[in-house]
Structure 1
Amino acid sequence: MTREKMTCHRLIDLILDFVKNKGDDLHVLTLEKILLFLDVTINNANTETLLIRLDKGRIANQLGESLWELLAANSDGENEIKMPL
């Protein structure tokens, strides 16, 4: 878990605990806005992580294909590996 997400989760826990103990004179709409902002921040971080994982998979796939092409090119008796440009 990223520090950003961990921080948001901790803030959510702190707010919820504070409301449970002393929530009788707090503005509920303000608390909802704060909690929803933290939730959106967590979801954005999750989305960013997911997209990074997708890019890593695509890159790994491309590298894998390039590696097989290099091995196939080298298997025809050549001693030198040719790098694609």
Structure 2
Amino acid sequence: MQIVNGKIGIGTSSPAVAVDVNAGDVAGFVRSESNSVSVAVISLGTVVYVIVFKKDTSLNEYNVRVGVDGNYFVAYTNNLKI
């Protein structure tokens, strides 16, 4: 973790915004006390970026996910596109 000019960088030594996370496929989790993942920010390949809402720590099972696929908005529930 780096702090530069009041900006926090995780996975980067030169944060561009207040909190800048540079990670692999999963940029971050917000977990509950029981360690289940309620919200995650995930990259699914080169052009698909989503925010997912989940009931557990699995990276493959999403209850709801929304994001972009190229230039298009996408939404899924229980891994089915809606």
**TM-score normalised by the shorter chain: which range applies?**
under 0.3
Give the strand-richer structure, 1 or 2. Answer: 2
Q: Higher Cα Rg: structure 1 or 2? A: 1
Give the helix-richer structure, 1 or 2. Answer: 1
Q: TM-score with structure 2 length normalisation?
A: 0.18
